[in-house]
Amino acid sequence: MLVLGGTGEAVALAEMLGAAGMAVITSLAGRTESPRRPAGAGQEVRRGGFGGAAGLAEFLHGRKVHCVADATHPFAAQISAGAAEACERAGVARVALARPPWRKVQGDHWREVDGHAEAVAVLAQQRAARHIFLSVGHNGLRPYLQLRGRRITARMIEPLRFAPPDYVRVVLSRGPFEKETEKKFLRDSEVDIVVSKNSGGEAAYPKIAAARELGLAVVMLSRPPAPPGPVFASAADAAQFIAGC
Ligand SMILES: NC(=O)c1ccc[n+]([C@@H]2O[C@H](COP(=O)([O-])OP(=O)(O)OC[C@H]3O[C@@H](n4cnc5c(N)ncnc54)[C@H](OP(=O)(O)O)[C@@H]3O)[C@@H](O)[C@H]2O)c1
């Protein structure tokens, strides 16, 4: 089994498959210094890109992989597309594990956008939004730096590899978060608007619930399209399907 990871769900899936007696290779992009690793017997972890779909197809062949579980983050579109192409080429089965996206509920003020460029355009129009809270990770930050004249608080797991301009405050923090602490953080920071990926799952949702209760607008980045194929919402369902393959 090859589990394409970088998420908590990937760790859970790898552990379930290992416990079921499978030899599991978890693959990580290698961006995080100390990522969570699956525990238990039969686990191997590799780090770093494969060199595109061709490199991954070669890896699948070389390591005699029977099945690939794409448990990467829903916004990691490149690796998912590469995995779909590689599995097609190598004739290897592929399943995806993806948390369902969050749905807007009563009281939410969401503006749903397709990508960072549209988010920046929306924010540029909303002049009253003086202080922007960004929850878009490392890679997403750069497009927002053009919003000079605003305050930006960007939360991420690891420090930036460049010095941000003086209107940007970086807050280092790793979830899971809680609604009450998120409310306090947004209130104390005097945030006017929240920008978030529609990641789904529970760990990152408290900021969305907190924004709703504080009456704050959210610019919600919609997910990039995923390759076709079987998708499971839980590690347990994916593991059950894989066991029957
Ligand atoms: N994007 C997010 O918001 C987000 C949030 C939380 C966690 N993550 C995790 O962080 C990783 C990187 O995310 P990203 O958005 O930068 O991905 P991406 O844009 O889809 O991938 C860029 C390249 O990084 C390599 N790569 C990505 N994930 C890999 C993996 N699990 N194993 C081996 N190589 C991988 C691949 O290189 P090659 O083409 O050379 O194979 C891929 O083409 C993912 O594994 C994802 O699960 C992402």
* Contact 29 CB / ligand 1 (< 6 Å): yes
- Residues for the chain: how many in total? 245
Smallest CA-to-CA distance from 25 within 46, 39, 53, 11 is with 46
Give backbone dihedrals phi and psi of 209, rounded to 5 degrees, phi first: -65, -40
Name the residue of 79, 87, 195, 222 whose CB sits within 8 Å of the most ligand 1 atoms, as the mutation to test its pocket: 79
CB atoms within 10 A of CB 131: 16
Distance, CA 229 to ligand 1 centroid (Å)? 19
Residue-wise pLDDT for 220-230, tens only, equals: 999 999 999 99
Same domain assignment for residues 120 and 149: yes
pLDDT at residue 79 greater than cutoff 90: yes
Quickly state the pLDDT bin for 32 (edges 50, 70, 90): confident
Name the more confident of 31 and 107: 107
Helices H / strands E in the chain, number of each: 8, 12
Helix (H, G, I), strand (E, B), or coil: what is residue 121? helix
Amino acid at 15: E
* Contact 73 CB / ligand 1 (< 6 Å): yes
Quickly state the pLDDT bin for 62 (edges 50, 70, 90): very high
**What CATH number does the domain containing 164 carry?**
3.40.50.150
Q: Could you tell me the CA-to-CA distances from 228 to 81, 85, 88, 90, 225 in Å, in that order?
A: 10, 11, 12, 17, 9
Helix (H, G, I), strand (E, B), or coil: what is residue 176? coil
Residue 139 has a pLDDT of 86
Residue 6 has a pLDDT of 94
Amino acid at 12: A
Same domain assignment for residues 216 and 121: yes
Quickly state the pLDDT bin for 169 (edges 50, 70, 90): very high
Q: How many domains does the chain have?
A: 2
* pTM of the predicted model as reported, rounded to 2 decimal places: 0.93
Same domain assignment for residues 113 and 16: no
pLDDT at residue 34 greater than cutoff 90: no
Quickly state the pLDDT bin for 245 (edges 50, 70, 90): confident
> Strands (DSSP E) along 48-120, which ranges?
67-70, 93-97, 109-113
Smallest CA-to-CA distance from 5 within 99, 82, 72 is with 72
Same domain assignment for residues 196 and 230: no
Smallest CA-to-CA distance from 35 within 174, 224, 180, 199 is with 174
Residue 143 has a pLDDT of 97
Rounded Cα distance between 120 and 108, Å, is 20
Distance, CA 5 to ligand 1 centroid (Å)? 8
Same domain assignment for residues 217 and 232: no
* Contact 134 CB / ligand 1 (< 6 Å): no
Same domain assignment for residues 119 and 217: yes
Q: What is the 3-state secondary structure (H, E, C) of 73-86?
A: CCCCHHHHHHHHHH
Residue-wise pLDDT for 126-151, tens only, equals: 999 999 999 999 889 999 999 999 99
Distance, CA 76 to ligand 1 centroid (Å)? 5
Quickly state the pLDDT bin for 31 (edges 50, 70, 90): confident
Same domain assignment for residues 133 and 47: no
Distance, CA 154 to ligand 1 centroid (Å)? 20
The ligand 1 atom nearest the CA atom of 79: 20
Give backbone dihedrals phi and psi of 219, rounded to 5 degrees, phi first: -90, 110
Same domain assignment for residues 31 and 123: no
* Contact 78 CB / ligand 1 (< 6 Å): yes
Same domain assignment for residues 128 and 156: yes
Domain with 91 in it: 2-100+225-243
Rounded Cα distance between 27 and 56, Å, is 11
Residue-wise pLDDT for 87-97, tens only, equals: 999 999 999 99
The ligand 1 atom nearest the CA atom of 4: 31
Residue-wise pLDDT for 186-209, tens only, equals: 999 999 999 999 999 999 999 999
Same domain assignment for residues 137 and 86: no
* Contact 107 CB / ligand 1 (< 6 Å): no
pLDDT at residue 244 greater than cutoff 90: no
* Contact 49 CB / ligand 1 (< 6 Å): yes
Mean of the per-residue pLDDT values of the chain: 96
Quickly state the pLDDT bin for 33 (edges 50, 70, 90): confident
